[in-house]
Structure 1
C-alpha cells in the first residue's frame, strides 16, 4: 500500500541528503529561544522551553500546573512515533490499545472506560493538534509528522481545553511554515523489515506567503505469526501527509491554512493464547472441554512464542484527516485567535472475537465514518499585572456505523447444549446486522484570568459554561443461516427450539436514546514565586465529562425487553486538588518539579458487560465514585554540553471508592445466577452459583500501575568523521511500570506483571547530519501490553505481547 508515496518520500530523502547544507539535526535551539516577551528570563543561564498550555506562549516553568514537555528530538531518538508510545516518556500517561478504535488514553489512572469502545461516551483526555480538538482517541492514532513538541497537561483542564479533559490534555504542536528556506529528512531501517522515512521542506513563495510540506511512512513486519493465514500480523503500514500555507500580510496578522491525511492499512490486530482459568460455568462448557470436544489444540500455549491460529480475516484500515484555518490578529496588548476546523475518521476493521482458531465468531466488523466540525474564537490579553483569555467554542459531530457479527461452523458446539449442540446449522451463518448513528452538538463560553496581587503572588480563576446535546439510533436485525430475518418477541420462542437458541446469541433490538445537559466548570489557582526560578502553586478544579448515551444496544430485562432507562449515562462530576513546586537551580542547568494531587469523580462512566456470547458486547453505566491520588516528580540536568540526563517518577493510587453493581470478573461469572437468599460459590467453582453483579468498591482501577518511572541520559565527546567535525554520543533511556489489572473488574487471570524496558543508541552528529544505531528493548523483555477475557465465560485469556528486541539505524539531515 501507498507504494507511490513511499517511493516519492524515499527519493526526496535521498536527494535531500545530497544537497543538504549545514544545520544542527538536534534542533534544541528553537526550544531555548523565547517566542515572545513573556520569556523575559536570561536564557543564557540554561534551557528555556516555550509552551502554550495556557493558550499563550510562555516558559514551561512559569505555568502553574503539572506539565510534561516532550521535544521532537526526544520523540525521534526514542522511537516514540505516535501517541501509543508516549507512556515510555511520560510515566503518568497510560495508553492501551487492542486496535486503533479500541484505544484508551488515561492520565493519572482516569480518562476513558477500559474495554470495548462505544461512540456514546467521550474521552477524558483531550487531544489537540495545533489547537484543533480531536474528539475520538482513534482519530488521534496517527504517526507524529513534523512535530515540534508534545505537551502532556496533567490534571483537569476544563476551563481552557473543554468539557472532556477531566484527566488532562495532550497538546501537539507541529512545525510552522518559515520565511527562510529549510528542510529535513530522516531514513530508518531495522529488523522486522522496519522502514521509516520522513521529509519536510519549508520556505517562502513571496514576501507574505510561506508554505511547509511534510510526509512520512512507516512499515514493519508483524510481531505475531498466524499459522492459519501464514502471515505475520500486527504489522505497521502507516502513511502521513501534511501541508500548511502561511499568509502574513503584516506583523500583526497571520492566517494559516492546514491540511493533513493519514492512512493505516495493517493486517491487525490479533491476539495469542495466554492462559485459561476456571470460571463458574459447568466444567464441560469451559474452554478446555469445548476445545477437546472439537479436536482443537491451540498452536502454542507459550504466548511469547508469538504464534496464533486465528481464522477470521484481520484488518485495521484507518483513515484520518482534515483541514483547518487559524487566524491570529495582534490587537495592541492582546491577540484575537480564530480556529475553524473539519476532521474526518474512516474506520474499516475486521476482527476475530473468539480469540481461537475455531470458527465460533466468523466475523466481527464494525466500520465507522466520522465527520466533526469545530470553531473556536478567543482573545488573549497580557499586561503588567493582568493576563486573561476569554473565548467561545462550538462543535458538531456525526458518526455512522454499519456492523456485522456472524457465527461460524463451530458455534453450535461452543455455545449450545444437548442435541442442538451437535447440529452446526443451528448457529452457522447466524448474522446480526447493526446500524447506528450518533449526532453530538456542543457549545461553550470560557474565560481564565491571571492577576498579580504582588510581584510574587498571583491568583488565577477560570470558568466554563458548556451545553451538550446528543441523539443516537441503534438497530440490530438478526438473520439465520438461510438469510431469513428472525423475531424473538411477540411471541417469544419456545424453550429448547432452534429459534430460542438463535435468540440467545443475537436478539433484535431498536433504541433511540437522546439527552442534553448544561454544565459549569471552574478552577482556582494560587501561585507564589519565591525567586525567579522557584514557583509554588495550589489548584482546586471542579470539572465534568459530558453525558453519555448507549450506542451498542441496551441491557434487557427478564422478558428480553430493552431497559430504556439505561439509554443515557449521567455526566461525571470531578473535584480535583493539587499542589506543586517548580524549581530550577545551578544556573538553570538543573530542573526539579514536584506535584501531589487528589481527584475524586462521582458517576464515573464505565463499560460493563453481561458476559454472554454476543448478546451484548458491553454498555455504558455509572460507577458510584472513583478516586485517584499520588505524587509525581520530574528531574533533568544538563551540567555541560557534554552530558544531559532526566528522571521522572510517579506514584498513583487509583481506586473505585464505590461500585456496588459492577460486572464480575471471570472467576465469579458463568454459573447459575444467585437468587435472594443464595450464597454465591467460591471463585472458579465450575457449575457454581454466580452473583448477578459484584461489589468492587476499594479495588484498583484497571490499567493503572502504582509505580512508574522513566529515565534517560546522553553523553558525547568531540570527534571527526569523513572530515566533518562533530560529536560521538551514547544515549540510554528506559521505563518501568509496576503490575496492573487488565480487566474492568480485577481478576487473578488478567493481572499483568510489572516490567522494565531499556533502549540504547550510539551515533555521530555534526552540523546538518546525524547518524546513529539503536536497540530498543535491549534485554528482550517479555511483557504484555493488554490481556483480554474471551466472551462466553469459557475461561480463555488472550493477550497482546509487547514488542520484542528491535534494532536498526537512522540517518537524519537538514538543509
Structure 2
C-alpha cells in the first residue's frame, strides 16, 4: 500500500510539478498566473526557468505567510534536503543535500553544503540556524556547485538573500506569540534618506520556554533565547556605483540540549543505574553537566559594484566573521558525569572575492578570484567518572584558500546555449592536536587544576596542501518560449584535513589526516510554464559518483573513544526531483514537491575491531540523513473581502521516509513520518497590517533529528536522541508605518 501511494504521489507531481518557490498571483485583469522568479544561482540575476541548475527558491513573502521561523523550515518543502538543528545545541546547523553533508560540527570539520548570506560564505555551522526576518528570498542549489561557489559545496548551497533598500523610509513591527510562552519581537526600519543613501536597521528577539524540563536541575529543556540584529548602509554616489556595508550579530543563550535517553542505563558492573530509566516525555532529561550555553556569531561585509559599461560590471565582496561557543553535552543524560563533554569553540574568517560580469548579445560570463583566511579552534573534556578519568582535547586548524573561477555561456541560437565553467582551488591547512588523559573529574582545560596528568595521547602539528580543478558544463535548449530543457555535468570538491579528536595511540595514522573528497554529478532537467502560465515545471533527474568519501567514526575502545575521519571509499546516488505550484481557480492554488534518491556504498573500507583488519563493509552500511522519499503539498485559498482586506488559508503536509542517523544502522534510526501544518492569514486592504495564525506539527508527531550512541557499561549505555518540535500554535501581528 505504501509503495502504491508513493508511486501515485510521484506520478501526480510529474504531471503538475512546478517550483515551490514560484510566487503565484491573481489579477483582476486576467487569469491567475505563476509569477516569474528571479534568482542568482549563477552569480547573476536570471529567471529561474533559464538556470540549468536544480534550484528551489522561496520568497520571504511565502515564508511569512506559512509561519516559517528559521532556516530549518526549508527541509519541509525542498526535495532531498535535510536541514536540522545539530545535536546538543539550539543554533548549530546540520545540512545534507542529495546524501552529501557533514553531521559533525567540531572545529576543523567542514560542511558539505555551503551556506551564504548575501554571497558571503559562512564557514562554520555554529550560529548558522538563521532565524527568518528581513529577508527577500532563500535559494537552495542542489548538486555540486564547485565552479561558482567553490570549496565545500559538493552537496549544494543554501543562500540567504536580503533585499536592497528602496523607497521611502518605513518602520515595520512584528510580534509572534504562541505555545510554550513564545515571545518573538522584530523591528525593522529602512528606506532611502536621500537620493543616494539608504539605511536599514533590524532588531529581533526570539524567546520560548522549553518543550521539556531538566528533571535534575529544574531548568527548561529545548527552550529558546536568541537575540539578533542587522544594520545596512547602501550608497550610490553615481548611477554606475553601488556600495553596501552590512553588519550582523546573533547571540544564543538557550539552554544546552542534552537529549533523551533511549535505553536504560547500567554501570560498568552491568547494574542498573538509579534514575536511568527511559523517561516517558522525549523532551525531558536528567542531565547534570550544567545548563549554561552561549553562542555568538557576528560579521561585517562590504559589497562594491561598478557598472563599467552597459555590458561589463565589476564586483568586490569583502567580509569578516567570528564566533564563540561555550556549552556542554551530557551524553549519558544522568546527574552524574558518566559521559559528559564540556566544550568551547571559537573561529574567525576573512574572505575577499572579486568578480567580473559580462553581458552581451550572445555571451554571458562571470569570472573572478576568491581568498579565504580562517582559523577554527576549540577544546573539550571527555569525562568518564566511573574510571575517574578525563580526556582533555584541544587544538586548532588554520586554513588559507585561493581560487580562480570562470563560467561562460554562449548562445548559438535564440534557443540553444552552452555553458562552460571551471574553478581551481588551493587549500593550505595546518592542524594542531592535543589530547591527554587526566585522573579526576575534569581537566585543567576546564578549571580542575587538581587533576593528575596521565598518558599523553596526541601532541602534534601537521600541515598539508590540497589542490583541485572542478569543471562544469551545461547545454540548454528552449523547446519554446515557455519551456527549457538542460543537461549538465558538474564536480564538487571538499579538501582534506585533520581530525581534532585524533588519538595517536589508538590510531597512529590519524597524524597524517584525511584526503579530499569529490562528487561528480550528471543532471537532466526540464523547466517551464504551461496553460498560459497557470502551471510551471521544475524537474531534475540526477546521477552522482562520490569518491574518497569522508566519514566520521567514534568507537568506544576500553576506557577511551577512538575517533577517526576516514576516506572509506566510493558510493553513488541517483534520483529525481519535482516541484510544483499551480492555479486551479483565481482563489485556489497549490504548491508541492517530491524527491526520490537511491544512495548506496560501492566501497566502505574501515577497521573491523573484532579482527583487527581493514575490511569492506559496503553491504552493511547506509547513507545517513538521507530518506529515500521526501514530499510536500500545500494549498492556498485566498478570499478577497473588499474593504475588509484579504484572507488566506494555507494547509500543508510534508513527508519523509525512514532514514538512518549514521552509516551503521541503529535503534536511533527514524521511521517514516508526516508533518501537518496550517496557516490562516488576514491582510488589510493597504497591506499595512497582517494577522496570522499558524499551527505546526498539528498531529503532534514525535520524530528524531539526531542522536549519539555509546553503548556499554563504562559509558552508562548512553544511547540518546534529539527530537523535532512538538505541536505548536503561533499568532503573528505585523504593522507597517
Q: TM over 0.5: same fold? A: yes
Give CA-to-partner distance per residue, 1:754-790, whole Å, 9 cap, x none: 1100011223212211112121111112222223213
Q: Does 1:308 align with 2:290?
A: no
Q: Which has the higher strand share?
A: 2
**Cα distance between partner residues in 1 of 2:563 and 2:632:** 34
Q: Does 1:674 align with 2:610?
A: yes
CA drift of 1:222 comes to 1.1
CA drift of 1:314 comes to 3.2
2:704 alignment partner in structure 1: 784
Give CA-to-partner distance per residue, 1:698-738, whole Å, 9 cap, x none: 63201110010011111022226xxx521222111221100
1:536 alignment partner in structure 2: 485
Q: Are the counterparts in 1 of residues 551 and 567 from structure 2 also a CA contact under 8 Å?
A: yes
Indicate how the Cα distance of structure 1 residues 309 and 482 shifts in structure 2: closer, same or farther if over 3 A, else same.
closer
CA drift of 1:588 comes to 1.3
**Cα distance between partner residues in 1 of 2:441 and 2:262:** 36
Secondary structure at the aligned position of 1:255 is classed as strand
1:344 alignment partner in structure 2: 322
Q: 1:807 aligns with which of 705, 720, 729?
A: 729
1:704 alignment partner in structure 2: 626
**Cα distance between partner residues in 1 of 2:555 and 2:273:** 29
Give CA-to-partner distance per residue, 1:189-224, whole Å, 9 cap, x none: 001011111121112233211101111111111112
Q: Does 1:215 align with 2:197?
A: no
1:144-543 pair list within 5 angstroms: 144-275=132-263, 287-288=265-266, 293=271, 295-298=273-276, 300-304=278-282, 306-332=283-309, 333-361=311-339, 363-408=340-385, 411-412=386-387, 427=388, 430-481=389-440, 508-543=457-492
Secondary structure at the aligned position of 1:351 is classed as strand
**Cα distance between partner residues in 2 of 1:291 and 1:230:** 30
Give CA-to-partner distance per residue, 1:44-72, whole Å, 9 cap, x none: 96401111111111111111111000111
1:51-62 pair list within 5 angstroms: 51-62=39-50
Secondary structure at the aligned position of 1:81 is classed as coil
CA drift of 1:803 comes to 1.4
Indicate how the Cα distance of structure 1 residues 573 and 484 shifts in structure 2: closer, same or farther if over 3 A, else same.
closer
CA drift of 1:99 comes to 3.5
Q: Are the counterparts in 2 of residues 662 and 695 from structure 1 also a CA contact under 8 Å?
A: no
Q: 1:737 aligns with which of 656, 660, 679?
A: 656
Q: Are the counterparts in 1 of residues 92 and 127 from structure 2 also a CA contact under 8 Å?
A: no
Indicate how the Cα distance of structure 1 residues 73 and 614 shifts in structure 2: closer, same or farther if over 3 A, else same.
farther
Give CA-to-partner distance per residue, 1:327-381, whole Å, 9 cap, x none: 01112112111000000111111221223333313x4122111110000000111
1:716-731 pair list within 5 angstroms: 716-719=638-641, 724-731=643-650
**Cα distance between partner residues in 1 of 2:356 and 2:676:** 45
Range moving further from structure 2, 787-796 or 761-770: 787-796
CA drift of 1:315 comes to 3.5
**Cα distance between partner residues in 2 of 1:750 and 1:732:** 30
Q: Are the counterparts in 2 of residues 345 and 370 from structure 1 also a CA contact under 8 Å?
A: yes
Indicate how the Cα distance of structure 1 residues 791 and 206 shifts in structure 2: closer, same or farther if over 3 A, else same.
farther
Indicate how the Cα distance of structure 1 residues 582 and 227 shifts in structure 2: closer, same or farther if over 3 A, else same.
same
Give CA-to-partner distance per residue, 1:76-128, whole Å, 9 cap, x none: 2333322233201213211242134864211011122x3x3333332211111
Which is higher, the Rg of structure 1 or of structure 2? 1
**Cα distance between partner residues in 2 of 1:273 and 1:338:** 50
**Cα distance between partner residues in 2 of 1:246 and 1:726:** 34
Secondary structure at the aligned position of 2:53 is classed as coil
**Cα distance between partner residues in 1 of 2:637 and 2:470:** 46
Range moving further from structure 2, 210-219 or 786-795: 786-795
Q: Are the counterparts in 2 of residues 265 and 318 from structure 1 also a CA contact under 8 Å?
A: yes
Range moving further from structure 2, 123-132 or 291-300: 291-300
Range moving further from structure 2, 693-702 or 457-466: 693-702
CA drift of 1:149 comes to 0.4
1:99-178 pair list within 5 angstroms: 99-100=88-89, 103-112=93-102, 114=103, 116-178=104-166
Q: Are the counterparts in 2 of residues 270 and 314 from structure 1 also a CA contact under 8 Å?
A: no
Root mean square deviation of aligned Cα: 2.8
1:751 alignment partner in structure 2: 669
Q: 1:616 aligns with which of 556, 561, 565?
A: 561
Q: Are the counterparts in 2 of residues 47 and 589 from structure 1 also a CA contact under 8 Å?
A: no
Q: 2:593 aligns with which of 648, 655, 665?
A: 648
Matched residue count? 702
Secondary structure at the aligned position of 1:318 is classed as strand
Indicate how the Cα distance of structure 1 residues 480 and 81 shifts in structure 2: closer, same or farther if over 3 A, else same.
same
Secondary structure at the aligned position of 1:618 is classed as strand
**Cα distance between partner residues in 2 of 1:157 and 1:31:** 28
**Cα distance between partner residues in 1 of 2:174 and 2:586:** 24
Indicate how the Cα distance of structure 1 residues 172 and 32 shifts in structure 2: closer, same or farther if over 3 A, else same.
farther
Indicate how the Cα distance of structure 1 residues 295 and 569 shifts in structure 2: closer, same or farther if over 3 A, else same.
closer
CA drift of 1:180 comes to 2.0
User: Structure 2 stretches of 5 or more lacking a match?
Assistant: 1-20, 445-450
Indicate how the Cα distance of structure 1 residues 614 and 215 shifts in structure 2: closer, same or farther if over 3 A, else same.
farther
CA drift of 1:139 comes to 4.1
